[in-house]
Chains A and B, each alone.
Chain A
Amino acid sequence: MVDATHQGGHGDDSEQTRREFLFLAAGAVGAVATAGAAWSLVDSMNPAADTLALSTTEINVAPIQEGMGVTVLWRGKPVFVRHRTAKEIEEAQNVKLTDLLDPETDQARVQKAPWLVLIGVCTHLGCVPLGNKPTDERGDWGGYRCPCHGSQYDTSGRVRRGPAPKNLEVPPYKFISDTTVRVG
């Protein structure tokens, strides 16, 4: 243990506090610099600008008949676009919110009632639910059914039976004409 032979002229105490201050100040600056450097490394792993670049997909919905749906790739995930029948629309709208696991009105989830636009990823662990194809089993609520762990969704894409916790996500979309939807 070294005794730094310092001929302190002003007495040890003021030298000690000066030294403490200098260490603290230099240490703080060093810590900030290191944190900044580390952040640049960590942040580089976040999605890059090209990934984030708002990718949009335009879908022509004219050929989709009532009761049919298409699946479109958007930002690496499937998007279900479904032309709902009158019966499906009615079922979706006439539901008591208290019956829902994740309460949301149908009106809050669709812009034009016949058109259901959802991200086709189960909110449990990420599988693609069945129900968009005419040959698929649609589950007890006539919507979607996830084959992985049995979650079921209704005709508005709302979760009715778990283990999924939330309703199927609605992506940002817009009708740029009567027959074209732009997603994203």
Chain B
Amino acid sequence: MAHQTAPSSFKNPLIRWVDDRLPIFTLMYKEYSVFPTPRNFNYLWNFGALALFMLVTMIATGVFLAMQYTPNTDLAFGSVEHIMRDVNYGWLLRYVHANGSSMFFFAVYIHIFRGLYYGSYKRPRELLWMIGVLIYLLMVATAFMGYTLPWGQMSFWGATVITNLLGALPVIGKSITTWLWGGFAVGNPTLNRFFALHYLLPFIIAAVVFLHVWALHVTGSNNPLGVEPKSEKDTLPFHPYYTMKDMFGLTVFLIIYALIVFYAPNYLGDPDNYIKANPMQTPAHIVPEWYLLPYYAILRSVPNKLIGVLLMFGAILTLFLLPWLDTSKVRSAKFRPWYQWCFWFFVLACIDLGVVGAHEPAGIWILLGRVGSIYYFAFFWILMPLLGWFEKPLPLPASISEPVLGGGKLSGSAIAAKPMEKA
């Protein structure tokens, strides 16, 4: 499997012919074969590739589902059942697509939290981070619209509740809601346009992902130490090390995905969505899919409609500003003991908000929701700026390879201690 080809020429004449006119092969070789990648990646660095795999899977299954689906309020629910019962492998396409949404968000959340922990959003990767947040925003919009398409009870009422939020905006609120609905309530015009947009946005996402990867390749990847590669000793060629590692990670990911699709395909969903939408009757509990629950909790944490909406959007928009909110000169949480604590409390807060989002805002859940929301915003707006000033970071290694290859200490012992400390 040894490629003896120099970057500018390939042995195969057909490949050379194409490459001379449009250097896609040279590009792939430079960017995904020999590309110098930090040698100390852990498995948290797998998740970007997994997210890309999910985007492709969702588009593929989505296009074939769209061949059988009818975006009309009278026919939509029936067309989904037609897919499940009559279309060859329709049940598989539907379950892969619906659960794929959860897997996509799962991969992206881990990917984001990796960035938060290791300071991947810091200079010079600020724009990379912001492009990533844009991708996330587009994903949320796509998922929201996609969920309305089966036109079940939860589809209809989730759409009603969330689109009604825009009514909170002063002066223009009502006109905007009417405009969005194409009518006086969620109805056929709404469903039709949501279908059109749901088909469109993933291709926009793909284009933004292209920019995301391009930005990444300009700066190079971050790594668990947060210390930029200084020499060849710090990096490995992407192929075969990370192609193979990513394939292994993908296999594990696919096993989990397959377990869900084949053995528990409705576990993550809401049974109410197997009931046709009824504008005359609201279900007892309106709940979004799990990946949107934290925002639902933030929304309901204050009794004021407008402030709830602003906080909900603010939670995502805060992410855009993160590179400037964090004042610390040290990238990786590995060397920031106080930040580590704050980070894990943040993870706890997000889980807390998720659980709160699934419950009715009553009793203990109100308190838990407010505590979670307060910590969420405090983490970004208070802790991040202050920690940079007051935290004393641990000493950074001279380079990625130095703790392992160089120095007087036995290889491994100095760095081995750190992961234990981290707890």
Contacts of B237 in A (CB 8 A): 2
Contacts of A4 in B (CB 8 A): 240
Cβ A44 vs Cβ B82 within 8 A:
no
Among residues 1 to 19 in chain A, which have CB atoms less than 8 Å away from a CB atom of chain B?
Answer: 1-2, 4, 19
Among residues 302 to 352 in chain B, which have CB atoms less than 8 Å away from a CB atom of chain A?
Answer: none
Contacts of A45 in B (CB 8 A): 64, 67
Cβ B4 vs Cβ A44 within 8 A:
no
- A49-B86 contact in complex given A1-B3, A44-B64, A44-B67, C-beta closer than 8 Å: yes
Cβ A2 vs Cβ B88 within 8 A:
no
In the bound complex, CA of A49 to CA of B90 (Å): 11
Cβ A1 vs Cβ B90 within 8 A:
no
Cβ B87 vs Cβ A41 within 8 A:
no
Cβ B61 vs Cβ A41 within 8 A:
yes
| Per-residue B-contact encoding for A20-54, CB less than 8 Å = 1, 0 else | 10010000000000000000110111101111000
Query: How many A residues, CB 8 Å from partner?
Result: 16
Among residues 68 to 126 in chain B, which have CB atoms less than 8 Å away from a CB atom of chain A?
Answer: 68, 82, 85-90, 92-93
Q: Whose C-beta in chain A lies nearest to the C-beta of B92?
A: A40
Within 8 Å by CB of A46, from B4, B85, B88, lies: B88
Cβ B90 vs Cβ A48 within 8 A:
yes
Cβ A23 vs Cβ B1 within 8 A:
yes
In the bound complex, CA of A23 to CA of B243 (Å): 13
Q: Whose C-beta in chain A lies nearest to the C-beta of B2?
A: A1
Q: Is B60 an interface residue (CB 8 A)?
A: yes
In the bound complex, CA of A50 to CA of B85 (Å): 9
Contacts of B61 in A (CB 8 A): 41
Q: Whose C-beta in chain B lies nearest to the C-beta of A19?
A: B1
Q: Is B236 an interface residue (CB 8 A)?
A: yes
**Least Cβ–Cβ distance between B112 and chain A, in angstroms:** 28
Contacts of A41 in B (CB 8 A): 60-61, 64, 89, 93
Among residues 1 to 39 in chain B, which have CB atoms less than 8 Å away from a CB atom of chain A?
Answer: 1-4, 34
Q: Whose C-beta in chain B lies nearest to the C-beta of A46?
A: B88
Within 8 Å by CB of B68, from A2, A43, A44, lies: A44
Query: How many B residues, CB 8 Å from partner?
Result: 22
Cβ A48 vs Cβ B68 within 8 A:
yes
Contacts of A19 in B (CB 8 A): 1
- A44-B87 contact in complex given A2-B236, A2-B237, A50-B82, C-beta closer than 8 Å: yes
**Least Cβ–Cβ distance between A44 and chain B, in angstroms:** 5
Cβ A49 vs Cβ B93 within 8 A:
no
Cβ B85 vs Cβ A49 within 8 A:
yes
Within 8 Å by CB of A44, from B1, B2, B85, B90, lies: B90
Contacts of A40 in B (CB 8 A): 88-89, 92-93
Q: Whose C-beta in chain A lies nearest to the C-beta of B61?
A: A41
Contacts of B240 in A (CB 8 A): 2, 4
**Least Cβ–Cβ distance between A33 and chain B, in angstroms:** 9
**Least Cβ–Cβ distance between A45 and chain B, in angstroms:** 7
Scoring B3, B85, B89, B237 by chain A CB atoms within 10 A of each residue's CB, the highest score goes to B89
| Per-residue B-contact encoding for A45-88, CB less than 8 Å = 1, 0 else | 11011110000000000000000000000000000000000000
**Least Cβ–Cβ distance between B300 and chain A, in angstroms:** 40
Contacts of B85 in A (CB 8 A): 49
Within 8 Å by CB of A43, from B4, B82, B88, lies: B88
**Least Cβ–Cβ distance between B255 and chain A, in angstroms:** 12
In the bound complex, CA of A4 to CA of B61 (Å): 38
In the bound complex, CA of A46 to CA of B82 (Å): 14
In the bound complex, CA of A152 to CA of B64 (Å): 41
Q: Whose C-beta in chain B lies nearest to the C-beta of A30?
A: B247
Contacts of A44 in B (CB 8 A): 64, 67-68, 87-90, 93
Q: Whose C-beta in chain A lies nearest to the C-beta of B63?
A: A41
Q: Whose C-beta in chain B lies nearest to the C-beta of A42?
A: B64
Scoring B34, B82, B87, B236 by chain A CB atoms within 10 A of each residue's CB, the highest score goes to B87
Among residues 208 to 244 in chain B, which have CB atoms less than 8 Å away from a CB atom of chain A?
Answer: 236-237, 240
In the bound complex, CA of A48 to CA of B69 (Å): 13
Contacts of B1 in A (CB 8 A): 19-20, 23
In the bound complex, CA of A92 to CA of B1 (Å): 70
**Least Cβ–Cβ distance between B18 and chain A, in angstroms:** 22
**Least Cβ–Cβ distance between A42 and chain B, in angstroms:** 9
Contacts of A23 in B (CB 8 A): 1
**Least Cβ–Cβ distance between B258 and chain A, in angstroms:** 10
Contacts of A48 in B (CB 8 A): 68, 82, 86-88, 90
Cβ B64 vs Cβ A1 within 8 A:
no
Contacts of A2 in B (CB 8 A): 34, 236-237, 240
Q: Whose C-beta in chain A lies nearest to the C-beta of B90?
A: A44
In the bound complex, CA of A119 to CA of B237 (Å): 65
**Least Cβ–Cβ distance between B250 and chain A, in angstroms:** 10
Contacts of B86 in A (CB 8 A): 48-51
**Least Cβ–Cβ distance between B1 and chain A, in angstroms:** 7
Contacts of B64 in A (CB 8 A): 41, 44-45
**Least Cβ–Cβ distance between A32 and chain B, in angstroms:** 14
Other than A40-B92, A48-B68, give 4 A-B pairs with Cβ distance below 8 A. A1-B4, A2-B34, A41-B60, A49-B86
5 nearest CB pairs, A to B = A48-B86, A40-B89, A49-B86, A50-B86, A48-B87
> Measuring CB to CB, which residues of chain A are less than 8 angstroms from any residue of chain B?
1-2, 4, 19-20, 23, 40-41, 43-46, 48-51
Interchain Cβ contacts under 8 Å between A and B, 6 examples: A1-B3, A19-B1, A41-B61, A48-B82, A48-B87, A49-B85
